[in-house]
Structure 1
Amino acid sequence: MFSTLDVDIRPGSGLGRFEIGSSLWTVLDMLRSLQHSFPQVDIKYDPDASSTTPIILHLRPHLDLLFSGKHQRLHTICLRKLRDPNPPVTLRYKDTVLSSTEDALTRVAVRRTFGPTYPGDDLRYPGLWFSFEEDGMGEGMKGVFSEDRMQEVKRVLISQKGNDGKGQDALEEVAEVPVMAGDIKQAVVKVHDGITLHFYPSSSKPVHIQLGETTAQDLNLELGPALRVHYKEDERMSIHSTSHASDVENEPGYFYNYFQHGLDFLICGSSHVVTKIILHSNVPGSPLFQRYKRCNWEIEGKPEDDEDDTPPRKRFYDRFETISHFLSPREPPPSMHLDRTDDEEDITLPSATTRLHGYDGIILEVSESSQVLSVMLF
């Protein structure tokens, strides 16, 4: 016996529990707690463009959730197979039941509820689209326009208003909406200094987190409590340090893990100041995918002169070779191999091995496809 999937339409805003503009990390985290309602989630993406690929979550059999490629924000919601009873679907708009397993949603019922719209094979309203095709977007299809009043709706799509007409681009980013409030919009990285965090809404005051200066108490005030505090126990990297650096490395410390921001901070156990900052790219197919939300980081270089207001930057989606040349025009430094499944006996991944490239004040973790998975400042 399946429980009914009971969802309400909010044109331009959302469907049921799902809000346009929500992050991929937030939605997948929510789905983990709803396995009784959504027991199977398929993740689809382009492995050849893993840093910027749009991602589709397929919640069988009724829902497809499309996320934008760079910011990983929920862009379009598609509800299909309205009459499939496994599980049954009840679709509502305000206080009206539009569709159920017993009652089909037809062309005339849509027009009675939402009013007139422009002619075409589909019925389009701001932020809402009713399609009479099982699959595909229906664009450019040849054929006679149907005026069958009882023609049954096969799919319902919700997106932001203005993104629902012809010419809709699945690669467009989602415009700022209230659900983004408190999320990091941009993280500007400066080597040997720290990071400057810009938040939604765009009018929010930036937060500067400085290596050797910002304290654990400052982090709690600016970012709220960490989702996890992890005490540093792994000292294996200290074997590669100089004697002085090794003393610093072996000093007791602890991590503040902000999974919801894609950030980690290593804090000195004695002075309680930030000594390292790690920013995560949340690249699909990588070992740490979905453990952290994507942090939209940019590494800022030195301005060309005192009057340069736009210093050069390299971004998370730039290839490793480009970022490496930006950090050091010479040959890339020797790399070390890291297999994140070494400590996990029951986990195997097709691309579990990454490479660590160290520069002056910064380390890049790089995938086999030359995507930068994380940045560490120290």
Structure 2
Amino acid sequence: MFSTLDVDIRPGSGLGRFEIGASLWTVLDMLRSLTHIFPSVEVKYDPDTSSTTPVVLHLRPHLDLLFSGKHQRLHTICLRKLRDPFPPVTLRYKDTVLSSAEGPFTRVVARRAFGPTYPGDELRYPGLWFSFEEDGRGDGGRGVEDKTQEVKRVLVSQKGNDGKSQDALEEVGEVPVMEGDVKQAVVKVHDGVALYFYGAAGASAKPVHIRLGETTAQDLTVDLGPPLRVHYKEDERMSIHATDSVPETDNGYFYNYFQHGLDFLISGPSHVVTKIILHSNVPGSPLFQRYKRCNWEIEGKPEDDEDDTPPRKRFYDRFETISHFLSPREPPPSMHLDRTDEEEDITLPSTTSRLYGYDGIILEVSEASQVLSVTLF
């Protein structure tokens, strides 16, 4: 016996548990705790453009969730197969049941609930539209104006994105569900990172500056809240590559902010930040979904004193472009990294990456030349 999938429509805002503008990381994290409702989740993306590909979560058999390519925000929700009884679906709008096992969702039911709209093969309202075709297939040749014609798909998107064509490459405008998330992380080598947040007082809001060698663990807690995890540094294998005569053995610890896509290594004796790691959350990579995507930008030096728009390279730029930006010479020698060495039964397009070290910054790069993470030290 299957439990009923009971969802409500919120035009331009969401459907059931899902809110337009929610991050891919947040939604997948939520689905981990809902396996009794959504036992099967399929992640679909284009491996050739993994840094900027839109991502689709297919929750069999009823839901498809489309996330935007760059910011990984929920862009469009599609509810389909309303008559599939495994599990049965109850669809509501305010106090009205639109569709259930007791009766189908038809054109006339939609019009009664949402009112008149422009004529066409589909019923379109701001932030909402109803299709009478299933996956592009016709529904048996019924006339477009047949009142008993069954709705086969329900789509919810942000208001203003519901024109004749749905552009999956558009980003979602700022909505309340984003409040408190990192909007932009501006990286400055040898200095640190400036974090800008959604929901702050517009463009005039001051960023939170995390500076190497200055910001303390207490500062992080005040500015970002407590970390989701504190991890004590035990792996000293990289110390063999240190240029110092004394290996790095100060019993440092990490503050892990998975919800922001950030890690901070904090010195044991001084409790100040010594390293900052920013994660790109690239689909298909070993760390995908462990961290939310951090929208980082590496800022270069201004051309002159009057230059208020210094050049920047972003997480979706290819490694070759970022490498030349950091150093016009040939890329430095790289080190091989396989994050699945201690894992079993993991199937990924590629489990290996390369570490490239520059003055004050390390790039972790996939075989497809996508930068998976940035480390400042």
TM-score category, normalised to shorter length: over 0.9
Structure 2 residue aligned with 1:184, among 177, 182, 185?
A: 182
- CA separation of 1:357 and 1:112: change in aligned 2, threshold 3 A: same
Q: Deviations over 1:215-244 (max 9, x none)?
A: 000000000000000000000001111234
Q: Which amino acid in 2 is paired with 1:355?
A: R
Q: State the distance in 2 between where 1:346 and 1:209 align.
A: 38
Tell me the secondary structure at the aligned position of residue 270 of structure 1. Answer: coil
5+ residue gaps, structure 1, are: none
Letter in 2 for 1:301: G
For 2:70 and 2:200, how far apart are their aligned partners in 1?
18
Equivalent residue letter for 1:260 = Q
CA contact (8 A) 1:121 1:145 kept: no
Q: Distance in 1 between matches of 2:308 and 2:331?
A: 29
- The equivalent residue for 1:148 is 146
Question: In the superposition, relative to structure 1, how do residues 95 and 144 fare at CA in structure 2: closer, same or farther (>3 Å)?
Answer: closer
Structure 1 residues 113-138: Cα deviation after superposition (integer angstroms, max 9, x where no partner): 10000000000000010000101499
Matched with 2:229 is: 228
Identity %: 85
Find the counterpart in structure 2 of residue 341 from structure 1.
340
Q: What amino acid sits opposite 1:178 in the alignment?
A: P
Shift of 1:353: 0.6
Distance change >3 Å, CA 300–CA 270, structure 1 → 2: same
1:193 aligns with 2:191: yes
Instruction: Name the residue aligned to 1:332.
Output: 331
1:55 paired with 2:55, answer: yes
Provide Cα deviations, 1:45-94, integer angstroms capped at 9, x if missing partner.
Answer: 00000000000000000000000000000000000000110000000000
Q: CA offset at residue 344 of structure 1?
A: 1.7
The answer to whether the 8 Å contact 1:354/1:366 transfers is: yes
Rounded Cα–Cα distance in structure 2 between residues aligned with 1:68 and 1:350: 21
Counterpart-to-counterpart distance in 2, 1:52 and 1:178:
24
Change (3 A) 1:137 1:75: farther
Runs of 4+ in structure 1 over 2 Å off: 345-350
Residue 345 and residue 109 in structure 1: after superposition, are their counterparts in 2 closer, same or farther (change >3 A)? closer
> CA separation in 1, counterparts of 2:344 and 2:108?
58
User: 1:51, 1:152 → 2: CA distance?
Assistant: 38
Could you tell me how far apart the structure 2 residues matched to 1:156 and 1:345 are? 40
Matching residue of 2:171: 173
Cα deviations by residue, 1:150-193 (Å, 9 ceiling, x for unpaired): 10000000000110121321110000000000000000000000
Instruction: Give deviations 1:18-55, integer Å, cap 9, x for gaps.
Output: 00000000000000000000000000000000000000
3-state SS, counterpart of residue 346 of structure 2: coil
Residues 84, 101 of structure 1: 8 Å contact kept: no
> Which one-letter code corresponds to 1:156 in the other structure?
V
Residue in 2 aligned with 1:294?
A: 293
Amino acid at match of 2:40: Q
Q: For the Cα contact (< 8 Å) 1:341–1:348, is it kept in 2?
A: no
Q: Any conservation in 1 of the 2:142–2:149 contact (CA below 8 Å)?
A: no
Is 1:278 the counterpart of 2:268? The answer is no
In structure 2, distance between residues paired with 1:137 and 1:335? 51
Q: Would you say the 8 A contact 1:366–1:374 is kept in 2? A: yes
TM-score when normalising by structure 1: 0.96
- Give the secondary-structure state (helix, strand or coil) at the position aligned to 2:264: strand
Structure 2 residue ranges without an equivalent (≥5): none
Q: Secondary structure at the match of 2:239?
A: helix
- The residue identity in structure 2 corresponding to 1:360 is D
TM-score when scaled to structure 2? Answer: 0.97
Give deviations 1:259-313, integer Å, cap 9, x for gaps.
0000000000010000000000000000100000000000000000000010000
Q: What is the CA-CA distance between 1:205 and the residue it aligns to? A: 3.3
Count of residues paired in the alignment? 372
Q: How many angstroms does 1:349 deviate by?
A: 3.1
Structure 1 position 216 matched with structure 2 position 214: no
CA distance in 1, matches of 2:2, 2:189: 54
Q: Following the alignment from structure 1 to structure 2, what is the Cα–Cα distance between the partners of residues 136 and 311?
A: 47
Which residue of 2 is the match for residue 114 of structure 1?
114
For residues 259 and 206 of structure 2, what CA distance do their matches in structure 1 show?
19
Kept after mapping to 1: 8 A contact 2:193/2:210: yes
Distance 2:251 2:137 in 1: 56
